[in-house]
Amino acid sequence: MKINKLIDHTLLKPTATTEDIKKLCQEAIEYDFKSVCVNPCHVRIAKELLQGTDVLVCTVVGFPLGANTIKSKVFETLDAVANGVDEVDMVINIGKVKERDFDYLVEEISEVVQAAKGLTVKVIIETCYLTDEEKRLACQAAKKAQAHFVKTSTGFGTGGATVEDVKLMYDEVHPQLEVKASGGVRSLEDLEKMVQAGATRIGTSSGVAIMNKQTTTNNY
């Protein structure tokens, strides 16, 4: 298992500058991570900085609350595609999950999948706010809408990935979809536990520390 190729090297802080993105991309090239995950305004520069490498550019849609309209999520996705993005991590409408509005959830995920034009779409269900039943419902919607991954967390909620949630999500979507664990994965031990539970992608801002077998206090 190539640990580096499980990692989406992440910087989603609102204070992130162009210099921060340059550093992120340099680290991603050095460690050959799967992708960098950045806010939409940084997609174009990240794409330029990573040109000629196999490191992908991932961005977020409807981030971090998920409470945007479907049309706005579609626009964000189209804009990201135009700027050269490779993968899209969208936040599901959490309120609609709580309402059990399955049809709405399928529609919004489907619209984003269509707007992504064949690119990988990961659906962030923000597990910290959901019951196990609601987590399963969100996973079922992502599966029906033909997304590619379900993802635990934004890193901005009240909690991040847990082994229990990753296993629940894996059991619900495998083998059609994959699972991304994000939020609070700070060490190699954390990463290995998530992988053992079924995660095939890890979103973390601690990628460099993990590769150097250190532990950080980063939340995302």
Task: Report yes or no on 122 lying in a domain.
Answer: yes
Task: Report yes or no on 220 lying in a domain.
Answer: no
| Alpha helix stretches (DSSP H) within the chain | 18-31, 43-49, 70-82, 94-98, 102-115, 132-144, 163-173, 188-197, 207-211
Which pLDDT belongs to residue 216?
72
Task: Report yes or no on 165 lying in a domain.
Answer: yes
Which pLDDT belongs to residue 55?
98
> Of 13-17, 38-42, 215-219, which range is least confident?
215-219
What is the arithmetic mean of pLDDT over 199-214? Answer: 95
Active site residue 89: yes
Residue of 8, 86, 89, 165 with catalytic role: 89
The token pair that represents 153 in the structure block: 């967390």
User: Which residues on neighbouring strands pair with residue 45, listed in sequence order?
Assistant: none
Q: What distance in Å separates the CA atoms of residue 122 and residue 177, rounded to the nearest whole number?
A: 9
Model confidence, pTM: 0.96
Task: Report yes or no on 70 lying in a domain.
Answer: yes
Tens of pLDDT, residues 181-195: 999 999 999 999 999
User: Which residues on neighbouring strands pair with residue 75, listed in sequence order?
Assistant: none
Whether the pLDDT of residue 180 is over 70: the answer is yes
The token pair that represents 50 in the structure block: 């990573």
| Domain harbouring 197, CATH code | 3.20.20.70
Residue of 34, 47, 73, 180 with catalytic role: 180
Which pLDDT belongs to residue 141?
98
Task: Report yes or no on 71 lying in a domain.
Answer: yes
Q: What distance in Å separates the CA atoms of residue 95 and residue 44, rounded to the nearest whole number?
A: 31
Task: Report yes or no on 86 lying in a domain.
Answer: yes
Active site residue 96: no
Task: Report yes or no on 203 lying in a domain.
Answer: yes
Q: In the structure, what pLDDT confidence band is assigned to residue 150 with cuts at 50, 70 and 90?
A: very high
The token pair that represents 181 in the structure block: 């664990």
- The average confidence (pLDDT) of the chain is 97
Tens of pLDDT, residues 67-95: 999 999 999 999 999 999 999 999 999 99
Query: CB within 8 A of 162, min separation 6: which ones?
Result: 127, 152
Half-sphere exposure of 160 (CA within 13 A, CB side): 20
Q: In the structure, what pLDDT confidence band is assigned to residue 213 with cuts at 50, 70 and 90?
A: confident
> Which residue's structure tokens are 């609350």?
65
SS3 147: coil
What is the arithmetic mean of pLDDT over 170-180? Answer: 98
Active site residue 167: no
Task: Report yes or no on 26 lying in a domain.
Answer: no
Which pLDDT belongs to residue 153?
98
Whether the pLDDT of residue 219 is over 80: the answer is no
Q: How many domains would you assign to the chain? A: 1
Length of the chain, in residues:
220
Residue of 73, 122, 143, 151 with catalytic role: 151
The token pair that represents 195 in the structure block: 């992988």
Which pLDDT belongs to residue 127?
98
**How much of the chain, in percent, has pLDDT values that exceed 90?**
95
Find out whether 155 and 220 touch, Cβ atoms under 8 Å.
yes
Strand-strand pairing, 149-151 and 178-182: parallel
In which domain, by residue range, is 126 found? 59-211
What is the arithmetic mean of pLDDT over 89-108? Answer: 98
